[in-house]
Each structure stands twice: as structure tokens, then as C-alpha cells.
Amino acid sequence: MEKFNKGFNLNDSITIGDGRMVLFSGPCAVESYEVCAKVAESLQKICDRLDIQYIFKASFDKANRTSVDSYRGLGFEEGLRVLDNIKQEFGLPIVTDIHESQQAKPVSDVAQALQIPAYLCRQTDLLVAAGETGKTVKIKRGQFMAPEDMQYAVNKVKSTGNEKICLTERGVSFGYHNLVVDMRALPIMRQFAPVIFDVTHSVQQPGGMGGSSGGKKQFAPYLARAAGATGVDGFFIETHPTPSEAKSDGPNMIPLHKMEDFLTMAKQAFELGQQAKNEVE
């Protein structure tokens, strides 16, 4: 298997794919400035203590919800305003989803990384528009995609001259309402770009609660340890001060008060994975 060893700079202080752990984390959706600020402040302090590179994550719009009645966010303008305030107050880079190609440029004025949702990872116009911004493009592997086929999504972004790309693993569909993670996908995709493991969506049960998605977060520590030991470049984790009150994806979130212990465990697995990856490659 071909070795991938080229990292890239997300900004002046964060590098993805160079052997240092990176964390994309925050609430699933932008619910309010207060929730976002509480998460950002807590995680920034935790990551400083643990020497983890941190990017704040929240979605200004959740366009792929199960039900038309599901909460989507504060809207384009207000959601981006909250994210910009978080960036300015805490000095944190931002990652957020885009769903349409025309969103790429205005969102890139706020965010340092644009996330392509799993269901949209084949959308050529969306990938090209994201690449043309020059910002980091974080592509989630679709639940229907073979890991080796993600090279074509990477190449669509690279066609713009932008090589600041990372891939995200979040499991594949295994029957109805269930996802499983094939750990072989991680080294396969890492041939094409750095790989981030999505801890919380890998335990999601899409549509598993009727009009909303469920999740089995008790399995999150096992998957995080396994992915870390496999040699990923970082983690994507959604968290909330009170997951039971979260307006999106609460059942699979890690509670904010448990994040320091969780990240301590994940970093230990990550460091073992870096050693093993160097030996294998």
C-alpha cells in the first residue's frame, strides 16, 4: 500500500497530517451563541492542556435532517454571524458544512475549513466550488462509497489547484438504521489524503428514532481507540453541555463534561497509532 506522508497547513498554527493530533469538535448545529461559546471555551482549554490542535465545529444549517419538522439551525446569515463571533472571541479556526456550491465563497469568508456532508461527497460542482476557495476541504465519505473511490472526490478538489484536503470516515450502511466502521478504510483512504475519524456519527442510527436519528454512544470509546491505533490524523467529535437537550444528534454526542477524559484516551490511542503507522509504512 502506497505511503501517504504529506501534511498541509490549515492556518498559521494548525497542520493536518504531520503526526500531530487534530480535533474538529463542537455542537452539531448552531443553536445559540451561548451554547457555542461554552463549548469553544471548554474545549480550547482542554486541548491546550493536552497539546491537541483544535478547530471549532458547528453547522449553520442542517439540510439533511430526517424530517421536514427537524431543527435546521439559525439560518445562513445568523448562523455564520455566530460562527464568526466564536472565531473572533476565541481565536479559533472554524469548520462548517456547505450543501450548495453558491455557499462556498461566503462561508469561506468565515470558515477556515469547508465540510462536505457524506451524502454529497460525489457532487462535482460542490467539491470544485469548495476547492476554488483555497480553504481546507474536509470531505466525509458517503455511507454508500467504497474507500478507494474517495480518491475521485479528492481529485475533483485538486483539479482547482487546491491540495488542502482531508477525508473523514463515519461508517457505512449495514442494513437499515445502522452503521459499521470498516477499519481497513482508514489506511486505504490515507493513500489519498489525511484521514479524520468521525467518532460520533459512526455510532449514529440514521432515522433510527422514527422522525429523527438515534445513536449508541456507548460504543464511541471503542471505535475511537481502534481508529486512533490504526493511525488516523485526528478526530471529529460532536459534543454539547446537555446532549439530551441538543436540537440535533443528541443521542450520539459526547457530553461536554466528559470530553477531557475522552480526549485523553483518544490521544493515547493516537500516539500508539502514529508509532505503528511508521513501522508499517
Q: How many CB atoms lie within 10 A of CB 147?
A: 21
Of 2, 1, 5, 45, which Cα lies nearest the Cα of 194?
5
Residue 1 resides in a domain: no
Residue 75 pLDDT more than 90? Answer: no
Structural domain total, the chain = 1
**pLDDT tens for residues 20-67?**
999 999 999 999 999 999 999 999 999 999 999 999 999 998 777 667
- Is the pTM above the cut of 0.85? yes
Residue 13 resides in a domain: yes
Dihedral of CA atoms 59, 135, 86, 169 in degrees, nearest 10, equals 40
Q: Is residue 170 within 8 Å of residue 141, measured between CB atoms?
A: yes
Q: Which residues face 67 on adjacent strands?
A: none
Residue 231 resides in a domain: yes
**pLDDT tens for residues 110-153?**
999 999 999 999 999 999 999 999 999 999 999 999 999 999 99
Q: Is residue 243 within 8 Å of residue 253, measured between CB atoms?
A: yes
Residue 177 resides in a domain: yes
Residue 3 resides in a domain: no
Which 8-state DSSP code applies to residue 59? B
Residue 2 resides in a domain: no
- The CATH number given to whatever domain includes residue 70 is 3.20.20.70
Range of the domain at 154: 8-280
